[in-house]
Amino acid sequence: MKLAFDTHLPRPRADVVALFQDQSLRPRWQPGLAVIRPLAGTPGEAGARSELVCTLGPRRVVMVETVLTCAPPGHFAADYAVEGVANRVTHRFTPAADGTRWELTSEFTLPPVMGLMAPWLLPILRGQVERTVDGFRDFVIATLPPAAP
Residue pair 104/94 in contact (Cβ under 8 Å)? The answer is no
**Residue 146 pLDDT more than 90?**
no
Does an H or E element contain 136, and which? helix 118-143
Report the pLDDT value the prediction gives residue 121, as an integer from 0 to 100.
79
Q: What pairing do the DSSP bridges indicate for beta strands 33-40 and 49-56?
A: antiparallel
Give mean pLDDT, residues 65-79: 95
Report the pLDDT value the prediction gives residue 116, as an integer from 0 to 100.
67
Report the pLDDT value the prediction gives residue 88, as an integer from 0 to 100.
97
5-39 residue pLDDT tens = 999 999 999 999 999 999 999 999 998 999 999 99
Nearest to 50, CA basis, from 35, 34, 29, 28: 35
Give mean pLDDT, residues 51-77: 93
Report which residue type is found at 110: L
Report the pLDDT value the prediction gives residue 148, as an integer from 0 to 100.
65
Residue pair 63/54 in contact (Cβ under 8 Å)? The answer is yes
pTM for this structure?
Answer: 0.89
Q: DSSP letter at 131?
A: H
Q: What pairing do the DSSP bridges indicate for beta strands 2-9 and 33-40?
A: unpaired
Query: Cα–chain-centroid distance for residue 47?
Result: 17
Report the pLDDT value the prediction gives residue 115, as an integer from 0 to 100.
66
78-125 residue pLDDT tens = 999 998 889 999 999 999 989 999 999 999 988 887 766 777 778 888
Provide the angle, in degrees to the nearest 10, between the axes of the packed helices 118-143 and 13-21: 120
The mean pLDDT of the chain is: 91
Question: Percent of the chain scored above 70 by pLDDT?
Answer: 97
Q: DSSP letter at 147?
A: P
